Amino acid sequence: MNMNDYPDNPYLLLTPGPLSTSKTVKASMLNDWCTWDDEYNIIVQDIRKRLVLLATPNTGEYTSVLMQGSGTFVVESVIGSVIPPDGKLLVLANGSYGDRIVQIADYLKINCSVIRFGDLKPVDAHITQEALDSDPDITHVAMVHCETTTGMLNPVEEIGHLVKQAGKCFIVDAMSSFGGIPMDIANWHIDFIISSANKCIQGVPGFGFVVAKKSRMQLVKGLARSLSLDLYDQWETMEKQNGKWRFTSPTHVVRAFRQALDELDDEGGVAMRYRRYRENQQILVAGMQELGFRPLLDKLNQSPIITTFLSPASGDFEFREFYHRLKARGFVIYPGKVTEFDCFRIGNIGEVYPEDIIHLLAAVKDSMYWTGIQQS
């Protein structure tokens, strides 16, 4: 990626989303679209079909629905729309986004229990099985696939088999992994999987989406705790009115997303995008380690989405100074989100290629103003 091609974009976003997008995705937003026009609704329907195909080859069992707002809006739409008044949600959490699901349930007065595994441990299947065995009131289980608090990749497939055997409904927040990590949600026994336009598919912010098992979706009519975030009503309207949204849709964002899907296909699909992201991450970690930085997670649990690094122990290091030095060189990174460690995060996804990571590493080296590089 040559930043000279983007005169209005002075830096590359090395974040888990919003992220840097291609010039053609940006250009696709230059035209205006009518929300009820057939041509626009055909685009919506095309997107819905392609999302199901990205999720599983068992397309006849699944459907999809788009929802206005950020990723959290869509998570709240699912949590608030699929759990009945007498249901109980079990949340398997090991970071801020698992905790956010708990917060949503609390706001909506949903009966909820949570198992917190800590930021540095993946969700544990044995502990999950014990919870399912000991509490027959649990009806739904929710967890995060890639927990971007740390970059942790959780064992969703393994947990899905346990939830299926227990006869519960399985909800997965795949915000930062869908479209960037190969998956088959039918084999993983996922009933509702949630993601957003501005993540691995490399669109821009404005809407999220849910791929859901049809048999589950048909059971949730009338359960929603919100008008705007009524997942079933949104789905039914799109089904019956050929892609129509109930309320004003982000038309420019939808068009950009269709372009982003085309570019995902051109790259070779999810498998090839995953390969690029993984190469980005491997080059990043090797280069940062050569400069003296240590990753927070071990390789076994590390996703190719975002990587957390421990800050140097030197008293001279200050993240904001480091951040601004990198930004001046054309790169934006993320602060840490783990409270017990002084750390920062670097994203590996978006319109980012290995050569960009090599340039970033050179900028990091040039920005090492502090004395010493011993790690905390």
pLDDT at 45: 98
Fold of 30-265: Aspartate Aminotransferase; domain 2 (3.40.640)
DSSP 8-class letter at 369: -
DSSP 8-class letter at 312: B
Residue intervals in the chain for CATH 3.90.1150.10: 3-21+269-366
Pair 254, 32: CB distance under 8 Å = no
pLDDT at 3: 47
pLDDT at 8: 60
The pair of structure tokens assigned to 275 is 């390969």
Question: Any bridge partners for residue 51, and if so which?
Answer: none
Fold of 3-21+269-366: Aspartate Aminotransferase, domain 1 (3.90.1150)
pTM: 0.95
Pair 210, 77: CB distance under 8 Å = yes
pLDDT at 183: 97
Residue intervals in the chain for CATH 3.40.640.10: 30-265
Average pLDDT, 10 consecutive residues per value, the chain (376 residues): 53 92 96 90 97 97 97 98 98 97 98 96 98 98 97 98 98 97 98 98 98 98 98 98 96 98 98 98 98 94 96 88 95 89 95 97 92 53
In the chain, the largest separation of any two C-alpha atoms, in whole Å, equals 64
Q: In residues, how long is the chain?
A: 376
SS3 230: coil
pLDDT at 223: 98
pLDDT digits (tens, 9 = 90+) for 116-142: 999 999 999 999 999 999 999 999 999
The Cα–Cα gap between 5 and 23 comes to: 8
Q: Are strands 306-310 and 331-332 parallel, antiparallel or unpaired?
A: unpaired
Chain centroid offset of residue 131 CA? 26
Question: Any bridge partners for residue 147, and if so which?
Answer: 152
